[in-house]
Homo-oligomer: A and B are copies of this chain.
Amino acid sequence: MLDFSEEPERFRAGITAWIEAHCAAELRNPASGEAEICWGGKRWTFSSDAQRDWMQAAAAEGMTAPRWPVEYGGAGLTRAQDKIYREELARLNAPTPLESFGLWMLGPALLAFGTHAQKLHYLPQITRGEIRWCQGYSEPGAGSDLASVQTRAEDKGDHWVVTGSKIWTSYADRADWIFALVRTDRDAPKHKGISFMLIDMEAAGVTTRPIRLISGASPFCETFFDGVIVPKVDENGNSRIVGELNRGWDVAKHLLTHEREMIGGGARGLLGGRSLGAFLESQEPGIMADPILRAEAMTLEIDSLATAMTLERYGDMAKQGGVGDASAMLKYAGTELNKRRYELLMSITGSDGVAWDGPQGALAPDWLRTKANSIEGGTSEVMLDILSKRVLQLPTQ
């Protein structure tokens, strides 16, 4: 059992002991990559007994969603306690017990907009890793214009009939449920008439197709809805709409802001990719004698270090009350920097870098994948629009 003492050092000692007791040594491997992430869900196959045990032990304590209220399956930690927990996970090289779009996105949306009954039903399924969710926002052809929702839910009295398609739904082919923006009023103005709907991926008429990127296979899918029946009130007595009918855009906007606030971590990942010095050690000696490569490497290193400091500074600011729309800068600068970094790495590796099967491993697909960084989650152009209009308050006309 965990000691939820408010005294920080006592809490830290307790959490350390608890992690060491439940997260097997075999999991605590700093080299574990993408493959070791536990996503949960009905169709999940644990990579090991240790992975299953760790997730279940954490779920039993609410520690898969440490800051959610206990009644919804969380642990009710304070921000300071959560920070200590994350620090100890990192220090012990322990993986987070569960990752999911349910934890990152649907949960916060339900906590902010859901009914008590919806929260009681859906949130514990998420924290226990029973249901895996995916996100259905973007539509083919809509691009950055998320409010341009064409997928429609027709009102058939006691149920909706959903028809349309979504794109860029990560892991839709492995998810159990989807939270999606659908148009419930076709006559309302663009940002009105959208609802935030929960749909069972096992319902008749739901199909998915994986998307292949220029960098190779990807977690992205297209998801198709062909006359999918969604009850207005389901067998648990819950509405399948989160928030008010036709006010789904409010929920989506809330989540988009939440997402950008979280981007600090993501951008840190972008920066953490590869240390240039370490990378260079594995390259042909003398390659950096070229002033073109050398100048670019120097400039990139300067900008990377300054950007890392900015993530730290904005992290501190966020703790003191949030950074608001200025967080769009982190997305913009971090993704553009990451593209520059991989362009440089490709230049440094020369002819080795251009082979899928070369000695540089996954460098080429990683490089190509960076090109999506400045598109997904809001393009660089959208970020600059946000900064110029909302932060700099430049006029619209």
Residues of chain A at the chain B interface (Cβ within 8 Å): 291-292, 294-296, 298-299
Contacts and interface: CB of A to CB of B under 8 A. Distances in A.
Contacts of A292: 295, 298-299
Which residue, A294, A295, A299, has most C-beta atoms of chain B within 10 A?
A295
A291 B292 CA distance: 7
A280 to B, nearest CB: 15
Number of copies: 2
Nearest to A297: B291
Nearest to A288: B291
Given A291-B294, A291-B295, A291-B298, 7 more contacts: A291-B291, A292-B295, A292-B298, A292-B299, A294-B295, A295-B295, A295-B296
A303 to B, nearest CB: 13
Contacts of A296: 295
A295 B294 CA distance: 9
A298 B298 CA distance: 17
Nearest to A296: B295
Q: Is the interface of A mostly helix, strand, loop or mixed?
A: helix
Nearest to A289: B291
Which residue, A291, A294, A299, has most C-beta atoms of chain B within 10 A?
A291
Which residue, A292, A296, A298, A299, has most C-beta atoms of chain B within 10 A?
A292
A291 B295 CA distance: 5
Contacts of A298: 291-292
Nearest to A292: B295
A310 to B, nearest CB: 22
Contacts of A295: 291-292, 294-296
A278 to B, nearest CB: 21
10 contacts: A291-B291, A291-B294, A291-B295, A291-B298, A292-B295, A292-B298, A292-B299, A294-B295, A295-B295, A295-B296
A291 B291 CA distance: 5
Contacts of A299: 292
A319 to B, nearest CB: 37
Nearest to A299: B292
A5 to B, nearest CB: 54
A292 B295 CA distance: 5
Contacts of A291: 291, 294-295, 298
A299 B296 CA distance: 12
A296 B294 CA distance: 12
A12 to B, nearest CB: 46
A145 to B, nearest CB: 16
A296 B299 CA distance: 12
A302 to B, nearest CB: 10
A4 B294 CA distance: 60
A24 to B, nearest CB: 49
Nearest to A294: B291
A53 to B, nearest CB: 53
Contacts of A294: 291, 295
A210 to B, nearest CB: 35
A296 to B, nearest CB: 7
A149 B371 CA distance: 47
A106 B295 CA distance: 49
A396 to B, nearest CB: 15
